[in-house]
Amino acid sequence: MISDLGIVDNGAERVRIKSHAVRLGLDCTHLRSPLAQPAPIGVFDEPVRPEMLRYSAAALAMAWFTLRGCAVALPIEPQAYDLLVTTSDGVQRVQVKSCAAPTKRGYWHVGIGRRPYVLDKTAGKIPSDPDSIDLFFIVLGDGGIYVIPSSVLAGRVSISAESYTPYRVGDASSLLGGASVEVDAPRRSSMYVREFLGIRGLVDPEGFAFDVYSGGEAV
Contact in structure between 68 and 208 (CB atoms under 8 Å): yes
Total residues belonging to the chain: 219
Based on the domain organization, do 38 and 97 belong to the same domain? no
CB-count burial class (<10 Å; 0-12, 13-18, 19+) for 70: buried
> Per the structure, how many domains does the chain have?
2
Q: By mean pLDDT, which of 110-114, 121-125, 177-181, 206-210 is the weakest?
A: 206-210
Based on the domain organization, do 168 and 184 belong to the same domain? yes
**In whole numbers, what is the pLDDT of the chain averaged over residues?**
78
Based on the domain organization, do 66 and 145 belong to the same domain? yes
Q: By mean pLDDT, which of 68-77, 151-160, 183-192, 196-205 is the weakest?
A: 196-205
Contact in structure between 88 and 198 (CB atoms under 8 Å): yes
Give the phi and the psi of residue 148 in degrees, each rounded to 5.
-125, 130
Q: Which domain holds residue 15?
A: 1-45
Based on the domain organization, do 150 and 133 belong to the same domain? yes
Q: What is the pLDDT of residues 123-144, one digit of tens each?
A: 788 898 889 999 999 999 999 9
